Structure 1
Amino acid sequence: MVSSTIIIILCLVAFAVIHSITASLPFKKMVVNALGSKVETFYLPVYSLIAVITILPVVYLLYLNPGRVLYIVPSPWRWVMVAGQLIAAVVAPRAFRDSPPRFKLHLQLSTPDTPESEPLNIRGIYRWIRDPFLLSGLVIIWLTPFMTVNLLIVYVITTIYFYIGSVHVEKRLISQFGDEYLEYQKKVHRFIPFIKGHY
């Protein structure tokens, strides 16, 4: 019989594959070519919905088979950790608001020399970190005030996937904004606020 841990890992890998494909520029170009510019309005909501649907089996399996408990953080520290998670959860919506050009489909497919391109326009949270989604994701998972074996495995794999995803996004942003983004990388760190840029 296949262990619950292996099934959870396989579901997580399936999520990562689907999420990576739908986030890739070749897939987005294919969708735009097939459906035209009208895809702009619904691509991000559909992409987000697919991400939620494909991660639900992992959440359900973790609920059924959390594995051996490694630790439970006592009060009041658990509430400090939960407060940190809530603060991090506010960062993602703020990141969407602070840099709309990063998330518009037609701009993602543009390059600096195309008519539809827009300047990088650094503002809000992006003045302190280049990838607020990476930071908020890491804070939310690693400040969980309890840990089990299967949860730890999922968090380790997720952390690796988050970092690889961040590298992918950075390459796309270099393609989208060119030298402007390369200069920005030198000034702002990827996910550690308030320190000088680092790759």
Structure 2
Amino acid sequence: MASSKVTAVFSLFAFAVIHSLTASLPFKRLVMRVAGPKAETLYLPAYSLIAGLTILPLVYQLYKNPGRILYKVPSPWRWLMVGGQLIAGTLSLMAFRDAPHRFKIRSQLSGPQASEADSLRIKGVYRWVRDPFLLSGVIMIWLTPFMTVNLLIVYILTTIYFYMGSLHWEKRLVVQFGDEYREYRKRVNRIIPGLRRRVKESDQSLANIT
């Protein structure tokens, strides 16, 4: 039904608006003014909770009106796909672990020259890929072992949203870390992993020059 597609798209749009608003720097400035230093530790859990709650209407709509089934992947291939989704989810957790300083509100609001600024400190999954969240998100949705019409529409729009969000996030990282991030961006791809050797070689070349 066309109405189920419209409802699913509207639910996704509402989630994207709320998600983008709560991730924006003006909203974070407001939170800092209201909550003070506590915002640094409370913001990320609260942000994740809001994201989880606001995605529930979309999940419900897809569950209630999934649309015509396009395919179902049989065993054992479906379990391989689920395993890939679990690996992708682990990648997201590793990305938080390897770069917690990227999510500090004070650093995001201050820029690379301020006293609150951190160095980029490339390690872990960031040696392989610039945006592991984009990579893991794309893998998790497209490795779903079944597909319906409504799900396909939502996944296509979600992939576009992920990519546009990655572009915006990277602009913010340039503001946050300055030339250090610009140089890193030249050496590592946004989403295609496997360039760790190039990062190491480049780092070694810089060390030899200095």
Give the TM-score normalised by structure 1. 0.95
Aligned runs of 1:68-107 on 2, under 5 Å? 68-107=68-107
Alpha-carbon distance between aligned partners in 2 of 1:72 and 1:18, rounded to the nearest angstrom: 32
Alpha-carbon distance between aligned partners in 2 of 1:50 and 1:2, rounded to the nearest angstrom: 29
The one-character-per-residue Cα deviations of 1:131-155 (angstroms, maximum 9, x if unpaired) are 1110000000000110000000110
- For 1:110, the equivalent position in structure 2 comes to 110
Is 1:183 aligned to residue 183 of structure 2? Answer: yes
CA deviation after TM superposition for structure 1 residue 49, in Å: 0.5
CA deviation after TM superposition for structure 1 residue 35, in Å: 2.3
What number of residue pairs does the alignment pair up? 197
Alpha-carbon distance between aligned partners in 2 of 1:190 and 1:110, rounded to the nearest angstrom: 24
Alpha-carbon distance between aligned partners in 2 of 1:33 and 1:82, rounded to the nearest angstrom: 43
CA deviation after TM superposition for structure 1 residue 37, in Å: 1.7
Aligned AA (2:193): P
- Which of the two has greater helix per residue? 2
Aligned runs of 1:35-184 on 2, under 5 Å? 35-184=35-184
Please provide the CA RMSD for this pair. 1.4
Identity of aligned residues (%): 64
Alpha-carbon distance between aligned partners in 2 of 1:79 and 1:22, rounded to the nearest angstrom: 35
Q: Which runs of 5+ in 1 are unaligned?
A: none
Aligned AA (1:107): S
Give the TM-score normalised by structure 2. 0.91
Alpha-carbon distance between aligned partners in 2 of 1:146 and 1:9, rounded to the nearest angstrom: 19
Q: Which runs of 5+ in 2 are unaligned?
A: 200-210
Alpha-carbon distance between aligned partners in 2 of 1:132 and 1:180, rounded to the nearest angstrom: 19
Aligned AA (1:145): P
CA deviation after TM superposition for structure 1 residue 79, in Å: 1.4
CA deviation after TM superposition for structure 1 residue 101, in Å: 0.7
**Larger Rg belongs to:** 2
1:118 match: secondary structure: coil
Alpha-carbon distance between aligned partners in 2 of 1:35 and 1:98, rounded to the nearest angstrom: 27
Moved more, 113-122 or 70-79: 70-79
Could you list the runs of 4 or more consecutive aligned residues of structure 1 that deviate by over 3 angstroms after TM superposition?
none
